[in-house]
Each structure stands twice: as C-alpha cells, then as structure tokens.
Amino acid sequence: MAATYLKVPFKANGEVRSLGARFDSQMRQWYVPDGHALAPFKAWLPTGSSALPSTSDLTTAGSDMSVAVPAKGIPLSRLLSGVGAAVAEAYKAGVWVIAEVLRASGRDGHVYLELSERDADGRVVAKTQAAIWASTASRIVPQFERATGVTLGAGIKLLLRARPVFKAQYGFSLDIEAIDPDYTLGDLEARKREIRSRLQTEGVFGNNRSLPAPWDFSAVLVVAPPEGAGLGDFRQEAMRLEQFGICHFVYAFSRFQGDGAASEIEAALRTALDEWTLSRAALPDAIVIIRGGGAVNDLAWLNDYALARFICDSELPVLTGIGHQRDSTILDEVAHLSFDTPSKVIASIEQQIARRTQEAKRHFQTILDHSTRTVQSTKSEIERLDLEVRSQVVATVSDARSRTEGLFASSRLAAFRTLHEAASNADGAFASVRGGVVEPLAQARNAIPSLMSHIKDRAAANIAAARQGTLSSVGAVLERARLAVQRSRESVGLHLRTVEQEAQRSVRLARTGSEALMREISGQGPQKTLGRGFAMVQAEDGKTIASAANVQPGAAIQVTFHDGALDARVVQPKSEEVR
C-alpha cells in the first residue's frame, strides 16, 4: 500500500505531524506512511480519495468500534491506528470537560498539560495528557489569561472543550480547542466564598480586624518567600529602622505557591512565634505576611482555610502585603490590615513610628513648659509662704512683747495703788489715834507694825503674781511661734520634695523624647538627601562648598550624587554673572 499524500494548510502542520504524518521535502507535501490509519487525516485527504479503512478492517457495533483481527494477526501500528480511528469517529466534535491542571509546559508555541480529577478526599481518580497546539494556543491562551488574570499553570481548575485523540505512537490524549474563563474565575471565587462562609459561621472571621492597632512598632515578625523581590524592597527600608535601633525585625521564610504552601507558611509562623517566646519576654507588635507580585493562580494557593483560621485566632495584628492589585486573597480579608505591596506595608510602619515621634516631641515640649511653669509657680509660692511665716513670727513676737509690757505695767500700778491706800489708811488711823485717847493710840501703835507687814506681803504677792503671769504668757507666745515656724518648714519641705520629684520625672521624659527625636534625626542622613535628587559640592581639600561666592573661576571641584562623584572645574560663578 503506497503512501497517501495530504492537502494540509500551513496552520495545521503541527496537528498532522502529531498524528503521525511525515513531510516529503522533495514534494513539499505531507503524507501518511503505509500502514497508518487514514481516518484521523480525513479533513486533509484529497477529494474523492478511497483510502479510508474498509469495513473488512473495522466493524461497527452500536457506538463502539472494534478491530477485525485476521487469523495471522496484524501490525501493532495498524491496531492502534484502528483504535485512533474509532476514537476519532466517536468524538468528531469536542466535549466540555472539567479538570484540574497538575502540570503545564510549553514548547515551540504548543502548550502541554497534565490534567486530573480528584475525589472529595483529594485522591486522583482520573488523569490524562492534553495539548493545545500552537495555532490554537496563540488564540485561546492569551484570551483566557487576559480575562482571568490567571497564568495557565498547575493548581487551577479549567472548563475545557477537548477532543479525545488516540495516536499509535503517543497513546491517548486530549486536543484542547477552547477554555471557558468564567468557570475558572468562578471556581477561585467559590473557594474563597466557601472559606469565608465557614469562618463567619464559626464566628471568627473579623477577630483579627477587631484587634487594637499597634500603638507603636518596636519588634515585628515577617514571613516571606526567600529571595523574593518584594522581600528585598521591604528589607531595604526595614534595615534603616534597625540601624538606628527604632524597630527590630525577625524573618521566617516559606514557599508561597504550590501544593502545601499554605501549611508551610502556618508552620513557619508557629515555629517563629515559639522561638520568639523562648528568647524574648514580650511578643512582637505585629505579624507581617508579604510576597512579590504574581498571577491570580499563584495567589490562589493562599486561599486556605487552616492558614486563614490561624490568622483569625492570632492575638497579634496581622499585616499582609501579598503584592497584587487586581484581586485579593482570603488572607487579605481576615488580616488586621492589608496592602497591595510589601513596600506599602513597611511605609505604613514607618508612618506610624513617625506619628509617635511627633507626638513624643509635642508631649516633651508640653511637659517642659508645664515643668517650667510648675517650678516658677512653686518658687513664687515658697517665697510667699516664707514671707508670710516671717510676718506671722514678727507679729506674734511683737504681740507677746506688748502684752508682757502691759501686764507688767498693770502689776506695778496695782502695787503702787495698794501702797498709797495703805499709807492713806495709816495716816488716818494715826490721826484718829492722836485725836483719841491713849489706849486707842497704844492699840494703833501696836497694830501698825503688823499692818505694815501685811501690806508688804500683799504687795509682794501681787508683784510675784504679775511677774508669773508675764512669764507664762511669754512661754505660750514663744511656743505658738515655734509651732508656726515648724509647720511652715514642713510645708516648705513638702513643696520642695514635690518640685524635685516632678522635675526629675520631667527630665526623664524629656531625655526619652530627645533620644527618640535624635533617632529620627539620625535617620535623615546625607545619602537619603542625595537619593532625592540633591548633590554635594566639595573643594579640592574636601571642604563642602555652600555658596557660589566661595568659588573662584578655574577652581577644581567635586560634585557628589547618590550613585557616584564627578570632577569638574568652575568656568564662571553664577553669582558674578548676576552682578
């Protein structure tokens, strides 16, 4: 049996070659070698060709086709070609099939897939090879990826229109003719919807979002894929914070895509937190989960219930920067805060630290002003109290002195009065005695000594009583003055201790605020200023030139940018041109 030549358009070259056709370089035409079934090549056979298999080779029974085997047997290629023809006859048109991609690869514009079906327990119950030929792939694959944002690869479910093909050399496979993007998007969303609904039913969906935001950042746990571009952007800024002792970052690494990636991320988080607890007294302020950008199906590995539940149950706020803008993962929905990129996560941390620094500066100034006012007020109060105490002491002593002098004068007056009355009585009695008889005179003479003694005793008693009263009053006045002075000293001492304690506390707060301010100021180094487009000009001796007036024409200078330095020579300073 001679070879059968085919009429094949250029775009179908790959397909006929995969079916077993050969190319005749001299005839510049494809042909079917002797012994191969012609049914798979029906579309390219010459018009009126009778080279199709005869009913003696293939018999039809219902919808099944079987190969008639001669007594002496037939070649294997003929048997398999017959099977291929039977398959081609049974499936003349493509069939819509739901399958999961296990592997995907490309070569010469063709896309080769390994498809499977899993049961409810995740076991593979069916598996086959499939191909999208270059002529079809160039059309349907870009359409699918544009519509879904998904890169055709492992781990996604597809709704495919496929035509079963059996080839003698390669066995059974599927030729894919179309892909329904809506099904893939629906499957990805259905997976997220199922996890979201389960977490909401369990009452934990919003737990992490309801946690209070970190007041400040001093220690952060970061989980990321190793050597990722997003991690590099994050670490560049994080290292600057660490350099000045503002915030400490601990990194844990894990795969972020592929089968089992979600469980590895969870394991990395648990291990890092356990090690943190053992080595440090306090937990970190937050957990950060970051990765670089990727296709939707790369991110789909993160739509995992166990990992999402771990975040919901976490006592620490979780910040995500998964590196995407088109779509979100379930981790973004349950996290405390979510960002498009890792750079935005570290920027948010820096902004929070900057806000707290500004607040510290304001509080420091407020404390300083309050301390100054308190010290001045206390000083004025002490001076007033001292003046008041001195005035009270002087007034009390003066009052005591006046009362003492008054009592002493009253006592002397009473004594003089008593003497005067006694003298008057004595004169009267003497006159009466003289005017009377001798007996009364004698009686009077006898009574005068005792009367004079009585008068003297009475006067002495009055004087002693007056003196005693004066001394008692002076003691009471002095004791009152002493107690007043002691109370004043205690009050002054208490105020001084209060002022000293308040001043010490103000100084400590001021020192803490100043150190935080210095750390922030230290973070604004010259290299960062150069990175914003500025340049630094230096003279030959290395001194920085800050004014054009300091440069002479012809002087050699060096201009430093953020990525290097250039030597230059001054032609004419700009300031002289203006003049």
- CATH number of the domain bearing residue 490: 1.10.287
Asked if 426 and 558 sit in the same domain, the reply is: no
Q: Which of 422, 400, 418, 399 is nearest to 410 (CA)?
A: 418
pLDDT at 512: 81
pLDDT at 200: 93
pLDDT at 364: 86
Q: Among 46, 71, 89, identify where a domain stops.
A: 89
Strands 171-179 and 157-167, sheet pairing: antiparallel
- Residue 137 inside a domain? The answer is yes
Q: Among 73, 89, 105, identify where a domain stops.
A: 89
- Residue 192 inside a domain? The answer is no
> How do residues 9-36 score in pLDDT, each as one tens digit?
877 877 777 777 888 777 778 888 877 7
CA torsion, points 425, 426, 427, 432, in degrees to nearest 10?
Answer: 90
- Residue 186 inside a domain? The answer is no
Asked if 426 and 467 sit in the same domain, the reply is: yes
**Max alpha carbon distance in the chain (Å)?**
205
Residue 20 Cα to chain centre, angstroms = 61
Contact 441, 433 (CB under 8 A): yes
- Residue 166 inside a domain? The answer is yes
pTM to 2 decimal places: 0.45
The parts of the chain modelled with pLDDT lower than 50 are 1, 51-70, 437, 575-579
Asked if 83 and 107 sit in the same domain, the reply is: no
Contact 49, 133 (CB under 8 A): no
Which secondary structure element, helix H or strand E, spans residue 134, and what is its range?
Answer: helix 134-148
- Residue 450 inside a domain? The answer is yes
Contact 297, 327 (CB under 8 A): no
Contact 538, 564 (CB under 8 A): no
Asked if 441 and 479 sit in the same domain, the reply is: yes
Asked if 518 and 533 sit in the same domain, the reply is: no
* Domain enclosing residue 161, as ranges: 91-179
> How do residues 401-431 score in pLDDT, each as one tens digit?
788 777 777 777 876 777 777 677 766 655 6
- Residue 185 inside a domain? The answer is no
| CATH code, domain carrying 173 | 2.40.50.140
CA separation (Å) from 432 to 97, 412, 429, 449, 455?
Answer: 162, 30, 5, 17, 20
- Residue 354 corresponds to which tokens in the numbers above? 């900057």
**DSSP letter assigned to residue 324:** -
Asked if 217 and 68 sit in the same domain, the reply is: no
Contact 288, 250 (CB under 8 A): no
Residues in CB range of 355: below 8 A, 6 or more apart:
none
| CATH code, domain carrying 259 | 3.40.50.2300
> How do residues 337-379 score in pLDDT, each as one tens digit?
999 889 999 999 999 998 988 988 888 888 988 888 888 888 8
Q: CA 482, CA 494: separation in Å to the nearest integer?
A: 18
Asked if 418 and 304 sit in the same domain, the reply is: no
Q: CA 466, CA 407: separation in Å to the nearest integer?
A: 7
Q: Which of 140, 175, 138, 180 is nearest to 160 (CA)?
A: 180
Asked if 432 and 486 sit in the same domain, the reply is: yes
Q: Among 89, 108, 137, identify where a domain stops.
A: 89
Contact 94, 161 (CB under 8 A): yes
Place of tokens 């892909």: 179
Asked if 55 and 159 sit in the same domain, the reply is: no
Place of tokens 């440069």: 551
Asked if 107 and 219 sit in the same domain, the reply is: no
Asked if 100 and 175 sit in the same domain, the reply is: yes
pLDDT at 470: 62
Asked if 327 and 229 sit in the same domain, the reply is: yes
Residues in CB range of 136: below 8 A, 6 or more apart:
176, 177
Q: 134-148 vs 181-201: helix axis angle to the nearest 10?
A: 40
State the alpha helices, DSSP H only, in 159-260: 181-201, 229-243
- Residue 537 inside a domain? The answer is yes
- Residue 189 inside a domain? The answer is no
pLDDT at 577: 42
Q: CA 338, CA 318: separation in Å to the nearest integer?
A: 8
pLDDT at 389: 87
Number of domains in the chain: 5
